[in-house]
Amino acid sequence: MCGIVGYIGKRDATPILMEGLHRLEYRGYDSAGLAVARNEKLQVIKTKGKVRDLERILPERIKGMTGIAHTRWATHGEPSDRNAHPHTDTSERFAIVHNGIIENAASLRTKLEASGVTFRSETDSEVIAHLLAASPADTLEDSLRSVLRLVTGTYGIAVLDAQRPESIVIARNGSPVVIGIGDREMFVASDPAALVRHTQSVVHLDDGELAVVRADGYETSTLDGGATAKTPLTIPWTDESFDKGEFSHYMRKEIAEQPDAIRRTLSGRLEPRFQTTHIGGLEMAARELLEVKRIKILGCGSAYIAGSLGAHLIEQLARLPASAEPASEFRYRNPVIEQDTLYIAVSQSGETFDTLAAVQEVKRKGGRVLGIVNVVGSTIARECARGIYLHAGPEIAVVSTKTFTSTVVAFALLAVHLGRLKDLSTAQGARLLAALQALPDQVATILNQEARIATLAQRFARHENAYFVGRAAGFPIAMEGALKLKEISYLHAEAYPASELKHGPLALISPETPTVIVMPRDDLYAKNLSTIEEIRARSGPTFVITQPGDPLPMPVDAVIEVPKSEAVLDPLLLNIPLQLLAYHVALARGRNIDQPRNLAKSVTVE
């Protein structure tokens, strides 16, 4: 998705903007550009393609101490040089970079054209630059306020006035913008990743806020002009956490980081004295938690799938009815919000538009929402007010791996906590705590099987279609395995509950369609053996992910074994080989693993 970077201070802005753009590349984009103010003029360079393409065409002479830059992910108008941001007004005095969608751009454009303005792009964003030029207001902030009163839609926006380069003005409605506080210099970004090299002290704008950012400070206000008070937040990530290190892909690095990520998610949250867990951000006393009659979990993509495992954990350990639902659909079915239901929003980035909209729908109807989020200070984290941070560290690859695992761990912490308030015994609590502590080492042993999984991936990579099946909590793992594979290898992969195979998909099983069977050695093991027989009877290749035990009673194409944990935690371990499988299939197929086509790390538009 689109990214914004801005700088104002005493240094040359261009290298800082370029480095910020590089930091935002992981979000997915199709063009890039920057504008720097100098001697009351704007210098604007932009191009279709990658940040390195922009670097190639960047003239030496582009100098100045105030600038804004952008990576664009096309919504209105194809990816092209002229549609890339920044956009300027006709006189090239105002430059704007914009994330989001201006919904009434067409009618504003018609009016501007009628007044003689010639547009140079097909974007919705360009109207903002022309409206700024037409504003009679005295200051840039008042001009922007008047323009934003005319537009409907979503925006994270940064504006530069060549004639008054002593400030950058930013505003937010539905698309994040943060200010990074430096030493007599300030940074602006849509994602703290772009400024963490320079500062860890940030201020997040809220929807409906605007800020004037100068080298020596900033002022925030509402769109009506009333001052707002903001407290800077410290981002717990450093520049090093964004390095790829020895790995050739961020995804591979993040898979390898899982033992540490789990340790961080657990850190300080286990209470062996009472065989329970302690979750600081929950902010609900035992009595309040006991009044909860149901749990509804909302998230998108992998966050939804992790939520499905969370529901399973809560039902099993706390015996509370719990279910997960894609957040992207939630608001459209006019959901009934119940007072005795606890809603949980799951989002790695904390910026997913659909999840945020679901949170707002619950809150608007008086419901309580808890967030399970990785990015500290992100919009969903702030909107939920109470919640569990994953502390998994930054996840750069578009696909979720370590944050999926940490989310399941966070749900396990919550489920143990709720369970121990109810019927979970001290012995069960102690066993679960021990199992949680064992997870990092168990994940590490699975990662040691990478060479075998890579060999298997070579065979898998020859196919164009695959099924992933599982039962009970094995089904969400099948879903996650299929999602990961399709996202990065572009191989068509579908997940089914194993029990549903004979109700339709069996028609497609053939020697050309491998099936991955997720089958812990649980009560459903025998049923999964029957599933394997059904597939083998149609000559379908079978790849089994299971746990150590008696040899399978029939030949299969491959078996990967993972260590046994407590039954409710087994799915987490069964998922790890599927991450490696997806990675190596994508590698064998020569895909762009960290930035798969058409996908963005955080989907901040509807």
Q: Which is nearer to ligand AGP, 129 or 373 (CB)?
A: 373
Cα distances from 94 to residues 41, 91, 111, 592, in angstroms, run 9, 8, 19, 36
Minimum separation from the CB atom of position 347 to ligand AGP (A): 3
Q: Which is nearer to ligand AGP, 575 or 602 (CB)?
A: 602
Binding residues among 286-305 for ligand AGP as defined by CB under 6 A: 300-303
Q: Which is nearer to ligand AGP, 349 or 595 (CB)?
A: 349
Minimum separation from the CB atom of position 331 to ligand AGP (A): 15
Number of residues that bind ligand AGP (CB under 6 A): 15
Residues 556 and 400 sit within 8 Å (Cβ to Cβ):
no
Token pair for 582: 């997806």
Residue 265 binds to ligand AGP (criterion: CB under 6 A): no
Applying CB under 6 A, among 190, 200, 348, 531 the residue interacting with ligand AGP is 348
Q: Which amino acid belongs to residue 555?
A: P
Applying CB under 6 A, among 167, 355, 406, 531 the residue interacting with ligand AGP is 355
The torsion defined by the Cα of 193, 198, 204 and 207, in degrees rounded to 10, comes to -70
Q: How many CB atoms lie within 10 A of CB 280?
A: 10
Q: Which amino acid belongs to residue 110?
A: T
Applying CB under 6 A, among 71, 349, 542, 565 the residue interacting with ligand AGP is 349
Task: Report d(CA 578, CA 253) in Å as an integer.
Answer: 15
Positive or negative CA dihedral for 253, 189, 265, 373?
A: negative
Q: Which is nearer to ligand AGP, 168 or 346 (CB)?
A: 346
Q: Which is nearer to ligand AGP, 128 or 587 (CB)?
A: 587
Minimum separation from the CB atom of position 412 to ligand AGP (A): 18
- In the residue annotation, 402 being an active-site residue is answered as no
Residues 5 and 188 sit within 8 Å (Cβ to Cβ):
yes
Contact window for ligand AGP (CB under 6 A) among 146-154, 392-400, 448-456, 576-584: 392-400
Q: Which is nearer to ligand AGP, 14 or 406 (CB)?
A: 406
Task: Report d(CA 353, CA 335) in Å as an integer.
Answer: 18
- In the residue annotation, 601 being an active-site residue is answered as yes
Applying CB under 6 A, among 80, 143, 190, 347 the residue interacting with ligand AGP is 347
CA-based nearest residue to 168, from 8, 2, 3, 42: 8
Applying CB under 6 A, among 352, 442, 565, 575 the residue interacting with ligand AGP is 352
Task: Report d(CA 195, CA 594) in Å as an integer.
Answer: 21
Applying CB under 6 A, among 398, 439, 453, 585 the residue interacting with ligand AGP is 398
Any residues with CB less than 8 A from the CB of 503 and at least 6 apart, and which?
A: none
Beta bridge partners of 345: 298, 371
Q: Which residues bind ligand AGP (CB under 6 A)?
A: 300-303, 347-349, 352, 355, 398-400, 487, 602-603
Catalytic residues: 2, 601
